[in-house]
Amino acid sequence: MSSQLEQFVSDNSSGICPEALEYMIMANQGSVPAYGNDEWT
C-alpha cells in the first residue's frame, strides 16, 4: 500500500486569468436590462 496521498481536485479550483477578471468586473458595473438587451450579450 502506498503511503502517498492522492489528490482528486477539480480543475475549477485554479484562479481566474487577469483578462477574464477585468472584463467580468467591467460587465458588473451599473444596471442594464436583462436577457440580451445589454452591450455584453
pLDDT for the residue 2: 65
The whole-number pLDDT of residue 13 equals 74
Look up the pTM and report it.
0.48
Which tens digits make up the pLDDT trace of 1-40?
Answer: 667 888 787 777 778 899 999 999 988 888 888 787 777 7
Nearest 5°: phi and psi at 17? -75, 150
pLDDT at 30: 86
Cell numbers representing residue 32 in the block: 442594464
